[in-house]
Amino acid sequence: MKKLSQDKAPIYEALVKHKSNRVVPFDVPGHKGGRGNKELTEFLGQDCLKVDVNSMKPLDNLCHPTSVIREAEVLAAEAFGAADAFFIVNGTTAAVQAMIMSTCKAGDKVIMPRNVHRSAINALVVCGAVPVYVNPGVEKNIGIPLGMSVQDVEKAILENKDAKAILVNNPTYYGICSDLKAIVALAHKHNMLALVDEAHGTHFYFGENMPLSAMAANADMAAISMHKTGGSLTQSSFLVCGKNMDASYVRQIINLTQTTSGSYLLLSSLDLARKNLALNGKEIFKQADDLANYAREEINKLGGYNAFSKELINGDTVFDFDTTKLSIHTRDIGLAGIEVYDILRDEYGIQIEFGDIGNILAIISAGDRMLEIERLVSALYEIKRRYSKDKTGMFDHEYINPEVVLAPQKAFYSSKKSVPIAESSGKISGEFVMCYPPGIPILAPGERITDEIVNYISYAKEKGCLVTGPKDMDILNINVVEEC
């Protein structure tokens, strides 16, 4: 293959050429460049609909790329310091699942923190791998789950020497980073593969003075949500691999679940976002980091809030901190994070990433401006002045250590019955329960339901969290495993 430059965007360039050729479309999609759906065309724009096309020879094929998509993959791998890169249009969920399914088969063990995104546990339900959970540390003052202790990972390895892989969240939703280099080294020492859910870490590859990226830590695979902080369209991501992985096999695994009708809108957005970050990433993420740090300082001056940062670093469960994450603890003003989230949106016209029981998260990127930062700070000041109250009786932690009784696949596909959540304590869950976002399960299939979990679910619903997972859309009942 010819030598490629990071200032090229092969997929985008091929689409521009295709559009100028004025090809007559007798293929799908049926809107035919927007002519078949006037309202949609007016909403999204004709330029958008003209390049919403199907695979064809000049535009390559996502399932088996040999030309422009393959060139774009090579450029992406180079930009991320990886041996191989794959364009993912089913969201980072698909990338996380491809990592696990590429390294584990039914019955194989995979070591992972319990505070993983549901996509990782979904992969276990599908492929039948068995989790060995490492409970994350918990920060006592703000109640959030932290990273995995290296000592706890080593203990899990020594007790499960037949495990195939170790999965690490880096960073967590809150910005917490584990000692990734040490964990990867431990995995390789014991002939295990190191997988990294790097959904919130695109900027680690392109910014300066950022936490260590998965590829720089010599990890074997990483799932990267380019759309979260990298500027591509929602649902577009990269899966990158180190030199130890069989890239052709990984592609086969991806093709088990990824669509055969890859969206060229998503593909070109990944291509252009990679180009932009490769050329301008240092400046882009310095601006984002500067804005986040300014906001953090101003919010902490308000009193009552704790916009936490690198002061949490302890060399182990918090090995580093992603300062672009504007995570703010709200419990000391007597409000759950989800309550602040709702007030910001409903009364101040400010949409943040999520609110949970005790925290909110604002994602800061190159698209933000100082005026909006000031607006957020002012709104938080007003919320404290108008709504703050005594915090007595509030939940003080986000994470509950689970008791795992059955493997997720066995529990999910077992015979189940529906019972009221309020009466489910002591039973084994046959489905997920989680607040979304962030999508980290409160309960996963195969885990024992406890009074603490029942109370947590009730409290989360009362405070306004979007609880998802159960078959019962009203979240009143839960499917539990029928006892033998």
- How confident is residue 1, by pLDDT bands cut at 50, 70 and 90? low
Count: domains in the chain: 3
Specify the DSSP class assigned to residue 482.
Answer: P
Render pLDDT for 301-333 as a digit per residue (tens, 0 to 9): 999 999 999 999 999 999 999 999 999 999 999
CA distance 178 to 122: 23
Residue 159 lies in a domain: yes
Ranking 74-88, 404-418, 427-441 by mean pLDDT, the lowest is: 427-441
pLDDT of 359 strictly over 70 = yes
pLDDT tens across 28-50, in order?
Answer: 999 999 999 999 999 999 999 99
**Which tokens belong to 303?**
């009193």
* Final residue before a domain boundary, out of 247, 278, 309: 278
Q: Range of 438's domain?
A: 408-481
Distance (Å, whole) CA 468 – CA 475: 8
Residue 350 above 90 pLDDT?
yes
Rounded CA-CA distance 472/35 in Å is: 41
Q: Cα dist. 260→46, 65, 460 in Å? A: 24, 12, 39
Q: Give the tens place of pLDDT for each residue, 207-222.
A: 999 999 999 999 999 9
In a domain, 213, yes or no: yes
287 and 333, same domain (yes or no): yes
In a domain, 23, yes or no: yes
The answer as to whether 224 is a domain residue is yes
Tell whether 138 and 39 lie within a shared domain. Answer: yes
Same domain membership, residue 345 and residue 247: no
The Cα 310–Cα 330 span in angstroms is 18
Whether residues 231 and 315 share a domain: the answer is no
Is the pLDDT at 2 greater than 80, yes or no?
no
Do the beta carbons of residue 228 and residue 288 sit within 8 Å?
Answer: no
Neighbouring CB atoms inside 10 A of 364's CB total 27
CATH number at residue 26: 3.40.640.10
Give the model's pLDDT for residue 300.
98
pLDDT digits (tens, 9 = 90+) for 259-305: 999 999 999 999 999 999 999 999 999 999 999 999 999 999 999 99
Beta partners for residue 417, in sequence order: 480
Q: Is 202 found in the same domain as 287?
A: no
CA angle 176, 229, 327 (to 5 degrees): 40
> Is 370 domain-assigned?
yes
Residues 346 and 415 occupy one common structural domain: no
Pairing outcome for strands 109-113 and 130-134:
parallel
Instruction: Compute the mean pLDDT over every residue in the chain, rounded to the nearest whole number.
Output: 95
Are 430 and 416 in contact by the 8 Å Cβ rule? The answer is yes
Based on the domain organization, do 287 and 274 belong to the same domain?
A: no
Give yes or no: residues 269 and 298 share one domain.
Answer: no
Q: Are residues 167 and 212 in the same domain?
A: yes
Query: 296 and 376: one domain?
Result: yes
pLDDT at residue number 83: 98
Task: Choose the final residue of a domain: 244, 278, 312.
Answer: 278
Q: Which residue has the higher pLDDT, 484 or 350?
A: 350
Residue 367 gets the label, from left (phi > 0), alpha (psi -120 to 50) or beta, of alpha
Q: At 398, is the pLDDT very low, low, confident or very high (cuts 50, 70, 90)?
A: confident
> At 362, which helix (H) or strand (E)?
strand 359-363
Residue 1 lies inside a defined structural domain of this protein:
no
Structure tokens belonging to residue 177: 């980073």
Residue 443's pLDDT band (cuts 50, 70, 90): very high
pLDDT tens digit sequence for 156-207: 999 999 999 999 999 999 999 999 999 999 999 999 999 999 999 999 999 9
Pairing mode of beta strands 237-241, 221-224: antiparallel
Residue 430's domain is classified under what CATH number? 3.90.105.10
CA distance 100 to 167: 8
Is residue 392 in some structural domain? no
Asked whether residue 2 is domain-assigned, the answer is no
Residues 336, 226 within the same domain = no
For residue 287, give the CATH number of its domain.
3.90.1150.10
Residues 425, 379 share a domain: no
